[in-house]
Amino acid sequence: MTITLTADQTLAEIVNTRPAAARTFEAHNLDYCCGGRRTLADACAESGTDAAFVMEQVNASEAEGQPDWMAMEPAALVDHIEAAHHSYLSSELSRIDALVEKVSSKHGDRHAELLEVRATWGELRAELEPHLMKEERVLFPMIRDLAASDTTPEFHCGSLGNPISVMLSEHDHAGHLLASLRAQTDGYRPPDDACTSYRVLYDALGELEADTHLHIHKENNVLFPAVLAMETSNIAGSSAHRT
């Protein structure tokens, strides 16, 4: 059964229902991860995009062979995020870093925007690497502990809402840096005189942006709300048991 989506639904709801919509939103530069709580109609109005045209493309998109992250329990979703997105970033960050240095050093004198790209990329990598480490070594193990218990374990940070709020803030910052990279590269369009490495770099940056948007969406709009709901449920269950 095909579900018809509407512009009154939020961007996050649409991507959760039809993951292929993420590609459509990327094409129209509509932020469905950090800005996923906006309705499609509002997001299009803000960007001057034709909402009816976007909805036509979304409803025409076909289901993809992606895992159904909406059906995953938090512990399984954490495993999926690490396997699908953290491993991707771990390999791509160093590869893109080398490309940025190579291309900016060779062509920065003729294309000054590459110097801006290098600075913004350096800031983004410095943001993402410790962020991944904090998730893998601190937050995700706590989520697995919470999922394995009928009560709420005693965490050093108190509620999981505290580290989650930090992750949300860092996601916002990463989103701003990705938007800066898109602007500095003219939407990842290389100039006419770009060499092969130049083009490979811009392709890689575009792919990383799309993957990171989907990565952040899964955490902001699926994983974190589910974890906070689980924590609340476990606390309520513990109180009822003591009573």
Q: What's the pLDDT at 66? A: 64
For the stretch 90-125, what's the b/e string if a residue is b when 16 or more beta carbons lie within 10 angstroms of its beta carbon?
eebbeebeebbeebbeebeeebeebebbbebbebbb
Let me know: does 217 contact 33? Beta carbons within 8 Å.
yes
Amino acid of residue 159:
S
Q: What does the pLDDT profile of the chain (243 residues) look like in tens digits?
A: 456 788 999 999 999 888 888 889 998 999 999 899 999 999 999 999 999 999 998 888 765 556 788 889 999 999 999 999 999 999 999 999 999 999 999 999 999 999 999 999 999 999 999 999 999 999 999 999 999 987 777 777 778 999 999 999 999 999 999 999 999 999 999 999 999 999 999 999 999 999 999 999 999 999 999 999 999 887 666 555 555
Q: What's the pLDDT at 1? A: 45
Q: What's the pLDDT at 17? A: 86
Which DSSP category does 159 fall into? S
Name the token pair of 235. 């606390």
Q: What's the pLDDT at 200? A: 95
Residue 138 CA: distances (Å) to CA of 132, 158, 217: 10, 13, 20
- pTM for the whole structure: 0.86
Task: Catalogue the long-range contacts made by 91-100 (C-beta closer than 8 Å, 24 or more residues apart).
Answer: 92/204, 92/207, 92/208, 93/125, 93/128, 93/129, 95/204, 96/121, 96/201, 96/204, 96/205, 96/208, 97/121, 97/125, 99/197, 99/200, 99/201, 99/204, 100/201
Interhelix angle for 87-107 vs 113-134, to 10°?
160
Rounded to an integer, what distance in angstroms lies between the CA atom of residue 44 and that of residue 31? 10
Domain ranges of the chain: 11-60, 72-242
Q: What's the pLDDT at 151? A: 72
Question: What are the residues whose beta carbons fall under 8 Å from the beta carbon of 145, sequence distance 6 or more?
Answer: 153
